[in-house]
Amino acid sequence: MMERKESKYLLHINQLQNLFTHLQADYDILEIGNIREFTYKNIYFDTADLFFYHQHLQQNKNRTKVRTRKYVDSHLDFVEYKQKMKSIIKKERVSIGEEQFGQLTPETVEFLQKCFAKYYHLKEDFTLQPMLGNTYKRITLCHKTKKERVTVDTQINYEDISNT
């Protein structure tokens, strides 16, 4: 599901049981190694002038996210480039070593610049720096017959890691 449509909703924790009850006939809970609730860690990157953040604030139809993501329970780490184009999200990623989480190497910067050029048709060098970290728990529900999923994120914590 590297290309998809997304809809996001904010629910009170007390509404989750009703959601799960309503969806249980059509969805299975993703389970890997007896784990159903997975821990995610992200570090988001931006330019010094907050180019990606301002795209989001201005609700641009085309906007970008760059992050390192750690799938804690699976011991997998990636640099991810997410591009929203109208209502479609396209995600590209490259695997990195655990020690590279929160960092961009020359190889991952090259990957990100290729992604940026692909979606913006610009050959532009940009310097990215870590700005925001977050961690959360995620439950993933997979539709039994359709290529569709519902994710439920809880225990969301943010940390400003910028140098500003």
> Mean pLDDT over residues 126-134, rounded?
93
How many domains are contained in the chain?
Answer: 1
* Residue 27 in this model has a pLDDT that exceeds 70: yes
- Per cent of the chain over pLDDT 90 is 77
Q: Tell me the per-residue pLDDT of 92-106, one tens digit each, with 9 for 90 and over.
A: 999 999 999 999 999
Q: Is position 32 within any domain?
A: yes
Distance CA 96, CA 118 (A): 21
Phi–psi pair at 72, nearest 5 degrees: -55, -50
Q: Is position 33 within any domain?
A: yes
* Residue 1 in this model has a pLDDT that exceeds 70: no
Q: In which residue are the tokens 């890997």 written?
A: 32
DSSP string computed for 79-118: EEEEEEETTEEEEEEEEE-GGGTT---HHHHHHHHHHHHH
Give me the pLDDT at residue 135, please.
98
- The parent domain of residue 129 ranges over 3-7+28-160
Q: Is position 36 within any domain?
A: yes
Whether residue 20 contacts residue 26, with contact meaning beta carbons closer than 8 Å, is answered with no
Q: Is position 136 within any domain?
A: yes
Q: Is position 15 within any domain?
A: no
pTM: 0.90
Q: Is position 93 within any domain?
A: yes
Q: Is position 120 within any domain?
A: yes
Give me the pLDDT at residue 111, please.
95
Q: Is position 13 within any domain?
A: no
Written as six digits, the tokens of 20 are: 């799960």
Give me the pLDDT at residue 79, please.
98
> Mean pLDDT over residues 74-92, rounded?
94
Q: Tell me the per-residue pLDDT of 46-78, one tens digit each, with 9 for 90 and over.
A: 999 999 999 988 988 889 999 999 999 999 999
